[in-house]
Chain A
């Protein structure tokens, strides 16, 4: 088994899927010779040529719009958005078309498209290179939204996304592109969409999170255990929508307390949906109010990003709040 970082795992997933299925094509800005600005598509142009690894003119609207047409016709495009913050030019195409074509055409056409790109903060990327836009996509019926927290899941989830029959928004937390290395099997495995994973078992609090926040939450859980003996169960949701509600409820049956951690802003964020679902369907399990730790309700700042993003102190504050309620 090879030890890989997330960039290498994503690159491997693309390469293997392109070898397996001639319908898979990659398109985006700088994905060819440059190999993508983070090198996720490095070397693909050498193996698969310019027909299948397409450097495009600079327009996300064009990239996504064209990818939708390719998908309708029969290809399996993987469209790279160089930084997910630039996806908004393509918003009309995603929301009005990728998400709605199956519904609009009575199921005659579908858009098996992956839109992938680096997201989230922690690299001093400033306002337009740091955002966590998953709530926009979770709110849009017809889309599946995914965010891996490590190399193993990244490879397995990207393969599932490419094979899915519906459009998948695949968000890659760039701050952990290279710092987390894991054993990644060379065989053709997938990680199913819609399934979360318990990454730390515990009995006092359920902490639901995803992406780079998984690692921060694990540190906070360790701190809480050392400091107070609190046992925190950490769930990596992996698929943000449709999220693994059964896994969360099973965990709450044991812990009876819920903390949700995400980088995206709080108001109308993904944590609000998870909280509402639990409040509607499992409120009797809870012995304390739900606590959310999120990015603040502001644009993502360049200055002081580590105070803006959830940090260990803020996760600890939330754990204390639910434990001492």
Chain B
């Protein structure tokens, strides 16, 4: 990568086209890594579909479907080492799996049962300290400067940690994006920004988000090289992310990756996309869906066949079903958890309020009131 990479910020890097054919130069990626990528994408798809079903069953509060965006999440996060840090957004199930989270851990979180490591604090956010994966703030883009700060801290502390953050096209309109990119450029932070440009911020199309020709080009103004890549081509995303992670680790500073993808589903389970976009548009983009084309590529390269593929889906389908059964059987969080973790030590007001909460539960029973 040389200079500010203006050409690459305006370009569209791909390795595999929508038919699974190799276009341009094929990077040298070990077969096992390619199969891992595919497996993570399959696992993310299966889990995503289950979270949707569980939401419809009333078990999960809300879900932001990942369908169509598995390649960007998996391809970019696979470029990280285990000790690197990830600040995801809320549409990166594949990245969580890559970081080492299991389906069961993700489900315990989504169902906020007694094993939820985030103790029922909010919905649609996942992460865990043991995976150096920070649960996202729901307000869009808040994590962008956090990722930059963590990267600056790693540099100050002499670590060779790289920090990656995901966010959407909508987040590029926020002040957090401006501040994050600006600091990253000024302080040469070892951070990789990955925009999942899925073309829609709920009902607002990209054309209403920016008049810039691409989102990657925005990096240039901050002195941060931008690269635009086919976000539905997992190999291309991985290849570009490896380059950016290597740059960051070797002290060359931040990179802004725009992974151009498409949100095939609704924004969340509370959204109704028929109000603002056409069926035809969605159908058009189904053709570019990332799993089918990668399967085609793997089969053509002899790394996969129909039989093995079927076994893979069945294996992870069964694995996920069992995880759901276990998660659903776990008890709910104790009520008192709502007053925990506000401070390192609860001040007097929270101790008083814990007494009020306990008393209210007694009074509820006394009055015969069912609260939940």
Contact = CB atoms under 8 A, between A and B. Distances in A.
A37 B357 contact: no
A105 to B, nearest CB: 25
Contacts of B124: 126
B201 A33 contact: no
Contact of A314 (B140, B174, B202, B356): B356
B367 interface: yes
A89 interface: yes
B173 A127 contact: no
Nearest to A320: B363
Contacts of A35: 275
A43 B359 CA distance: 48
Nearest to B209: A57
Interface string B309-332: 000000000000000000000001
Contacts of A296: 338-339, 350, 353, 356-357
B368 to A, nearest CB: 10
Contacts of A55: 203-204, 208
A57 B175 contact: no
Nearest to A303: B120
Contacts of A281: none
Contacts of A312: 367, 369
Contact of B333 (A58, A86, A303): A303
B205 to A, nearest CB: 9
A57 B173 contact: yes
B38 interface: no
B127 to A, nearest CB: 14
B209 A58 contact: yes
Contacts of B332: 303
A4 to B, nearest CB: 21
A35 B138 CA distance: 22
Contacts of A33: 203, 275-276
A32, A55, A61, A267 — which one has the most chain B CB atoms within 10 A of its CB? A55
Given A57-B204, A86-B140, A298-B339, 15 more contacts: A29-B204, A30-B203, A33-B203, A34-B275, A58-B174, A58-B204, A59-B173, A126-B62, A126-B124, A302-B61, A302-B112, A303-B119, A303-B121, A314-B363, A317-B359
B271 interface: yes
19 contacts: A33-B203, A33-B276, A34-B276, A37-B270, A58-B170, A58-B174, A62-B173, A85-B138, A88-B139, A89-B139, A127-B138, A296-B339, A303-B112, A304-B120, A307-B357, A312-B367, A313-B361, A313-B369, A314-B356
Interface in B195-229: 201-204, 208-210
Contacts of A62: 173
A298 B349 CA distance: 10
Nearest to B118: A302
Contacts of A61: 174-175
Contact of B138 (A34, A37, A128): A128
Contacts of A306: 371-372
Interface in A88-135: 88-89, 124-129
Contacts of A59: 173-175
A7 to B, nearest CB: 15
Contacts of B171: 58
A12 interface: no
A289 interface: no
A307 B357 CA distance: 7
A304 B333 contact: yes
A34 B202 contact: yes
A313 B360 contact: yes
A127 B121 contact: yes
A30 B208 CA distance: 11
Interface in A258-279: 266-267
